[in-house]
Amino acid sequence: MALKWIHQHIHKFHGDRNRITLIGQSSAALSIGLHISSPQTSKLFQQAIMMSGSPFQLSMDSSRPENVDEFWRNYLRYLKCDPKIGMERIIKCFDRKIASNRNNLISMKMVKELSSLSNRLFVNLPLVTDETFQFTDQSDLIDRLKSTLRSNRISILYGRTNDEGSWISMLERPEIFDPQSPQSMNEMEAKNIGKKFIDLILVNRSSINASKILGYYFEELLKIQPESSEDLILHRIISRIVGDRYINCPMEIFVETVRTSTRSKAYQYYWQYKGNKKTSAFWNTFERVWCGYWMGSCHSFEMYAIFGVPFLQPNLFDQSDRIVSYKTIEMIEYFITKKQLFWPALSNRPDHQNLFYNIDDNIDGKKFGFNRKHQECSKIWGEYFQNIYSVE
């Protein structure tokens, strides 16, 4: 309804209904993907900026009616609100408990604890949809996406950070993946933990070759990781497994589906910037409370730059932060106004080099890298995603 209102009235605010761009990160990027797949909303915007998220990361198991019902009943019991007292009184109880203690708000750790799917590595919040988003499972979502795109073109700018999985690893095994004091482990111990994580990912899918997945990350990536401390390389490799499964590869498959189903264009950035904790109070605090020294650029790191926070709160940031923020805003402004970017769109042509825009600690000029993530996802996770998404 809100999107339709914007489309109808944006001209009254000197906007153009034919140049509407949606932008979102994580679950908001997931929501944008659902709007792209919906015949009712896909024609209400022309461009999308999707950061570290897509609807293909959803687990539909958590959204089955019986699991949705059980989750919310468990949450009400956690709040000590009786599920049987009627909706009006439940809402009042809910509001009162949240107002009195913000820690009662649902956290990602709580989602898994209250879910009937606690035997999984990661559980997303139950998704409740209306007639705007009519799909029954992942395969149906792909079919609807392809059908919608037959009559609609869209330009997408999407991207990820270089460490999308450490926060999920930290939720599952906080004693091992603590931001400040990660538990030391050798290669054998790391492989055992990686195997346990993969087994949790592959629940009810025994036909998938878990050894192939584990072997790639520990045999191939261990050779090329740039970190000097082997112990921390192992932590990062396990988090890479998790990040690829839940964020990176679903996003690659989603964008590839959009791009190959129509004449839509897609551009990618790769965020590797992590500020200097010695000269930036913001990064010093961030490292202590969440994204530790051993982690890379964590999930959501682009957000401060996109909103220009280093310029709004200059005392918390240094000049490098401001330069990176400016470059990020410049990229988004270019995409929104020109409907393209200053590097080529992704293509399947054999003579075409697919590039991503690299944003890292080297702040001079514009740098690009080769986008091979889709091929990597197909090679390592292809069988798994074919199994759950019926991706051809």
Domain positions in the chain are 2-58+127-389, 59-126
pLDDT more than 90, % of the chain: 51
> In CATH terms, is domain 2-58+127-389 a member of 3.40.50.1820?
yes
Residues in the chain: 392
Looking up tokens 């989750």 gives 71
Residues 145 and 34: their CA atoms lie apart, in Å, by 8
As a whole number of angstroms, the distance between CA 355 and CA 339 comes to 17
How much is the pLDDT for 140?
80
The answer to which of 5-14, 179-188, 350-359 has the lowest mean pLDDT is 350-359
Please provide the average confidence, as pLDDT, over all residues in the chain.
88
- Contact present, 25 and 303 (Cβ < 8 Å): yes
Would you state the pLDDT for residue 391?
A: 47
Dihedral angle of Cα 355, 359, 360, 361, to the nearest 10 degrees = 130
Res. 222 pLDDT band, cuts 50 70 90: low
pLDDT at 230: 61
Q: What is the pLDDT of residues 96-106, one digit of tens each?
A: 998 898 888 88
- Return contacts of 282-285, CB within 8 angstroms, 24+ apart: 282/309, 282/310, 282/313, 282/316, 282/317, 282/321, 283/321
Give CA–CA dist 223/127, Å, rounded: 40
- pLDDT tens column, 23-39: 999 999 999 999 999 88
pLDDT tens digits, 235-277: 999 999 999 999 999 999 999 999 988 788 999 999 999 999 9
Name the one residue in this structure whose structure tokens are 């025994």.
Answer: 206
What is the rounded CA–CA span in Å between residue 27 and residue 114?
19
